[in-house]
Amino acid sequence: MAPWGYEKDNGPAHWHKDCPIANGKNQSPIDLINGEVKYDSGLKPLTAKYVPFSDAKFLNNGHSVQFQPSAGNGSELTGGPLAVKYNFEQFHFHWGNNDTEGSEHRVDGKMYPAELHFVHWNSTNPSFKDAVGSGGPNGLAVLGFFLKVGAENAALKPITDLIPKVKDAGTSVTVPSNFDMQAILPATLTDYYTYDGSLTTPPLAECVKWIVFKQPLEVSAAQMEAFRSVINRDGKPMGGNYRPPCPLHDRAVKTSFK
Ligand SMILES: NS(=O)(=O)c1cc(F)cc(F)c1
Ligand SMILES: [Zn+2]
């Protein structure tokens, strides 16, 4: 099989051949159906403490564009449904070729134009890779933010301004050290959905505590167009790099909000 992707011949319907867990009972993304979620008053806000990185790259890996520090720097996530501290690993995006599609998670069947994932790994493991393979839903904690078209996102502008430099698959650029990742996040990380799930791309490991925020972030139409100019490994627009929703099976989706 050609390397996995999102085209007809290598897209989500094919992934089970190399990754049989694709048909597992804890797969992501899912459709977040408000009539089926359950409020949990024990779900407190999350706390993200991000330290500016001196040596991070922004890269096109053929299926997304990703902010990737070369090493950890003490940036961490705690609180919410998490029992321990999680170390920041990377953030990346999923988007569509028009404003009616692009997000991985959906809300009552609605897709947003894009979704931003902040990936963290359970600090009781020696590394990110070990956390992915640690078994069970506490290996990674991924924060999901929906993106909708509106005002320009000044915090994301240093990143979206770099997109033309990573237009082609396999290219990367150094991110200026004054990039303030913390500024991307809302001031308080309060209203979210949380459930046990998986990576949304191969290897699709069922190792993720998903935390999807109710309130979308805004990006400008120009910033959305920047994403849509990115090219994938087959030389086609990368837009459409989202997996459709997977069956919930007997999982519960909890909310921190009523
Ligand atoms: N898209 S995702 O956030 O589930 C994800 C995160 C990751 F670190 C590795 C993956 F393969 C997939
Ligand atoms: Zn993702």
Asked if 63 is an active-site residue, the reply is yes
The answer for 161, left when phi > 0, alpha when psi is -120 to 50, beta otherwise, is alpha
Instruction: Tell me which residue has tokens 């404003």.
Output: 99
Looking up tokens 């396999």 gives 170
96 falls within a domain: yes
**Alpha-carbon span 76 to 50, nearest angstrom:** 6
Q: Are 82 and 229 in contact (CB under 8 A)?
A: no
Q: 12 lies in a domain? A: no
Q: What distance in Å separates the CA atoms of residue 254 and residue 193, rounded to the nearest whole number?
A: 6
Distance from residue 200's CA to the centre of ligand 1 (Å): 6
Residue 13 falls within a domain, yes or no?
no
Coil/strand/helix, residue 195:
strand
Range of the domain at 76: 26-255
Joined tokens for residue 138: 């506490």
Residue whose CA lies nearest to ligand 1 atom number 5: 199
Catalytic hit among 14, 63, 92, 117 = 63
Ligand 1 near 132 CB (within 6 A): no
**Residue 54 located in a structural domain:** yes
CA separation (Å) from 65 to 114, 162, 165, 186, 218? Answer: 12, 10, 11, 21, 18
Report yes or no on 18 lying in a domain.
no
- Look up the CATH number of the domain holding residue 97: 3.10.200.10
Whole-number Cα distances in Å, 248 to 25, 92, 144, 197: 7, 24, 17, 9
| Å from CA of 63 to ligand 2 middle | 10
Q: For the segment 224-257, what is each residue's pLDDT rounded down to a tens digit?
A: 999 999 999 999 999 999 999 999 999 999 999 9
Is the model's pTM score more than 0.90? yes
Cβ of 142 below 6 Å from ligand 1: yes
The CA distance from 43 to 80, in Å, is 5
Residue type at 221 in one-letter notation:
A
CA of 250 to the centre of ligand 2 (A): 23
Q: What angle do CA 171, 173, 174 make, to 5 degrees?
A: 150
Name the closest-CA residue to atom 11, ligand 1: 201
| CA distances for 62 relative to 53, 167, 175, 214, 233, angstroms | 24, 10, 19, 29, 5
Q: How many domains does the chain have?
A: 1
Beta-carbon contacts of 11 under 8 Å, excluding residues fewer than 6 positions away, are 4, 5
Tokens 């770099």: give the residue: 162
pLDDT at 38 (0 to 100)? 98
* Within a domain: 155: yes
User: Is residue 16 included in any domain, yes or no?
Assistant: no
The ipTM (two decimal places) reads 0.99
Residue 19 lies in a domain: no
Residue 80 class from Cβ within 10 Å (0-12 exposed, 13-18 middle, 19+ buried)?
Answer: buried
pLDDT of 2: 74
One digit per residue, pLDDT tens: the chain, 258 residues?
A: 479 999 999 999 999 999 999 999 999 999 999 999 999 999 999 999 999 999 999 999 999 999 999 999 999 999 999 999 999 999 999 999 999 999 999 999 999 999 999 999 999 999 999 999 999 999 999 999 999 999 999 999 999 999 999 999 999 999 999 999 999 999 999 999 999 999 999 999 999 999 999 999 999 999 999 999 999 999 999 999 999 999 999 999 999 999
